[in-house]
Amino acid sequence: MKPALARQDTFDLSPAVAADETGLPGGALIMTLDGELRVSDLRPGTRVITRDTGMAVLRSIRRRRITGRAVRIKASSLGHNRPERDATLPAGQPVLVRDWRAKALFGAEQALVPAARLVDGEFVTLHEAATMTVYDIEFDTPHVLYVDGLEVASHMAECAVPVTKR
């Protein structure tokens, strides 16, 4: 089943998310066929484990420094070992939600939503004006990746499309 993508204007659960508030932190661990690697250690040609196709070959990687809102997610706050350790993501980074939150908050069995939409003020918190080095990793098509025990989207040209209700 392909996850629905939540439109930013569909639900008013958090402040609007800027499109440039995405990327994977360099220190985050991503699952590859060679084991877990830091995102900053990835190179084109790396075989990355994906939720949707099993494996995909990394085509390009771009590093950039951003200053914007960041979301801190405490270890295991989104389920058992989700994330495996405290994780910090840019506020707009799409995260796959496929538990009761998806149904309760977004009306779907699973949904890709910006990290900022998961903020609860206690276990998932929003931090203003955070400066981070992030990486955009690109494949032939967008994929859902395993990063620090979270399921997150790879770089997507457009991450806001209508939610498909079932």
22-53 pLDDT tens trace:
999 999 999 999 999 999 999 999 999 999 99
70-92 average pLDDT score: 93
State percent of the chain over pLDDT 70.
82
Give the pLDDT score at 34: 97
The 3-state secondary structure of 59-93 reads CEEEEEEEEEEEEEECCCCCCCCCCCCCEEEECCC
130-136 average pLDDT score: 95
Give the pLDDT score at 165: 40
Give the pLDDT score at 18: 58
71-97 average pLDDT score: 94
CB 90 within 8 A of CB 66: yes
Q: pLDDT category, 5, cuts 50, 70, 90?
A: low
Of the candidates 113, 128, 152, the one whose C-alpha atom is nearest the C-alpha of residue 13 is 113
